[in-house]
Amino acid sequence: MKFALQINEGPYQHQASDTAYCFAKALLEQGHAIFRVFFYHDGVNNATRFTTPPQDDRHIVNRWAALAEQYELDLVVCVAAAQRRGVVDEGEATRHKKDATNIHPRFRISGLGQLVEAAIQADRLVVFGD
């Protein structure tokens, strides 16, 4: 079965990202496919490369990146939500005259059309968080 996931909460404010990660990992280990993981609302904070949790805590951003690397997952961050929260890639930094980027290289910024496409292409869209 092919899934699409939508994560609406940040990595450390809410359990949604942890739960989504564990769900995604279990799906993939059982042979299911994930068409796309879409980070929306505060969920875009899962994509910042500047996240630095304490050494004895889980590093949620790196977990998502490693899973994406292992299974070639498409991790998409909503452009409008990212702009509101200061998550920028090279293109957005240039466009808005910012002097740095902060998105992890395994994530990419795009629009809501990517979420719509994921919902159409997948057998199930599972949403984590409010």
Q: Residue 80: name the closest of 39, 117, 118, 125 by CA.
A: 39
Angle between helices 16-29 and 60-71 (to 10 degrees): 20
Active site residue 22: no
User: CA-to-CA distance for 40 and 119, rounded, in angstroms?
Assistant: 14
Per annotation, catalytic residue among 44, 67, 77, 78: 78
β 107-110/2-7 pair status = unpaired
Which residues are known to be catalytic? 78
